[in-house]
Amino acid sequence: MVRLSRLCLCSLLLMPFACWAAEEDPWLVLEKASQAAHKLSYKGIYVYQAGRAISNMQIMHMNYAHGEFARVISLDGAPREVLRQGNEAVIYSAQNEQVMIEKRQVKNSFPALLPVLTEEIKSSYQAKVVGQERVGGRDTLVVQLAPRDRYRYSYRFSVDREFGLLLKSLMLNEKNEVVEQVAFSQLTMMPTLAMDWFRPNVERGKNYVMQPGATAMSAKAEVDEITLGQLPPGFVKVEQALRAIPGKSVPVSQWVFSDGIASVSLFVEVLDKGSVPKSGHLLQGASNLYAKVVDGRQIIVVGEVPEVVVRQIGDSVSFRK
C-alpha cells in the first residue's frame, strides 16, 4: 500500500509537466530553434555519428550587431578548422606538411539545421511534441518530425527549454533506425566577446596553400540540354550550376533539390574515354547514392533521403538531342 501511494504521488508530480509539454505547439518550438541557432552566442562540444563514423567537434558561435560568426574545430582525426561568417566559410585542413585553405558556401550546419518553416514543409511533415530529455546537462523538449509519405526520413529534435537552441538531432530511416545523430555533450551560453578568437590556430613550419575550389561557370549549354521528369512530391530545385571541379577534364552539372529539410544533389558529367562508368545503388550511413549512365553521361544522385527519392530523380534525367 505504501509503495502504491508513492507511485501515485510520483505520477501526480510528473503529470503537470507532461501535460504542459504535450500542449506546446511543436512548430513554434522548431521555429524558435531555427532562430536561436543564429541569434544566440554559445560555445560547446558536440558529437556527430553516422554509421560507425564518430567525430567530436568544438564550436564557438557569436552574433554581433554586424554579423554572425562561428569557429568549428575537429577534436579527433586529422586537424581541421572552419571559420564561418554568415554562409561564407574558410576551411583549414592539414595535408602532409601543408595546410590547405578552401573557401565555400555552407548551409544548415549544426545546430542551425532547421530552416524557416514554410507551409510546404508542414505539408510534407507532421510535428508532435513527444517528450522531454536531458542533453548536455540541460532540459529539452523532444519534437518528432514524421513524414507524411515514403519520400523522406523522420527526425527527432531536442530543443533547449530555456533558450530554444537545438541540442540534439536524430535522423531515422523507414525502419525507424537511427542513421545519423548529432548532440551537444557540453554547452555554455556566452555574452558577446571580443573577436580575438575568430582566427585559425596557425601551425608553425607548415605552408598554407589555397585550394582551388569548384567554380560556377557562365556557360549554360550543357546545363540547358538536361531535362527532368517528375520530381518526388515536395521536392523543388533550389540550385543549378555548371562547375569546373579540380581533377575533372570537363565541367560537371550540379542540381540541388530540397523539401526544405532534406536535400538531394544531382551530378551529370560527360564520360571521358577510358573512364569507368558507375551504376547501381549504394547506402553510406544516412546517404543513399544512385548512379547510372545515359547517352554517354554519368549521372549520380546522392542525398540523406530514402532510396526511392534518389532513384526517381536519377531515372527522370534525359537529354535533348
Structural domains of the chain, with CATH: 16-197 (2.50.20.10), 215-319 (3.30.200.100)
3-state secondary structure of 278: coil
**pLDDT for the residue 311:** 97
**pLDDT for the residue 31:** 96
Residues 6+ apart with CB under 8 A from 223: 240, 241, 242, 253
Quote the pTM value: 0.84
d(CA 314, CA 311): 5
**pLDDT for the residue 213:** 54
**pLDDT for the residue 22:** 53
d(CA 317, CA 314): 6
State the Cα torsion 275-280-284-287 to the nearest 10°: 100
**pLDDT for the residue 18:** 46
**pLDDT for the residue 194:** 73
**pLDDT for the residue 212:** 62
**Beta-ladder partners of 284:** 287
Q: Are 186 and 168 in contact (CB under 8 A)?
A: no
Q: For the stretch 91-130, what's the b/e string if a residue is b when 16 or more beta carbons lie within 10 angstroms of its beta carbon?
A: bbbeeeeebbebeeeeeebbbbbbeebeeebeebbebebe
DSSP state of 197: G
Q: Residue 319: what residue type?
A: F
pLDDT in tens, the chain (321 residues): 445 445 444 444 444 444 445 578 999 999 999 999 999 999 999 999 988 889 999 999 998 877 899 999 999 988 899 999 888 888 888 877 777 788 877 777 899 999 989 999 999 999 999 999 999 999 999 999 999 999 999 999 999 999 999 999 999 999 999 999 999 999 999 876 677 788 887 777 677 777 665 555 444 445 558 889 999 999 999 998 887 776 677 788 999 999 999 999 999 998 887 788 899 999 988 899 999 999 889 999 999 999 999 999 999 999 886
Separation of first and last alpha carbons in the chain:
83
- CB count in 10 Å sphere of residue 253: 23
Q: Are 142 and 155 in contact (CB under 8 A)?
A: no
**pLDDT for the residue 54:** 92
Q: Are 242 and 217 in contact (CB under 8 A)?
A: yes
**pLDDT for the residue 251:** 83
Strand 207-210 to 154-160 pairing? unpaired
**pLDDT for the residue 211:** 66
d(CA 106, CA 119): 24
Residue 184 Rama label (left phi>0; alpha psi -120 to 50; beta): beta
**pLDDT for the residue 218:** 43
d(CA 282, CA 301): 10
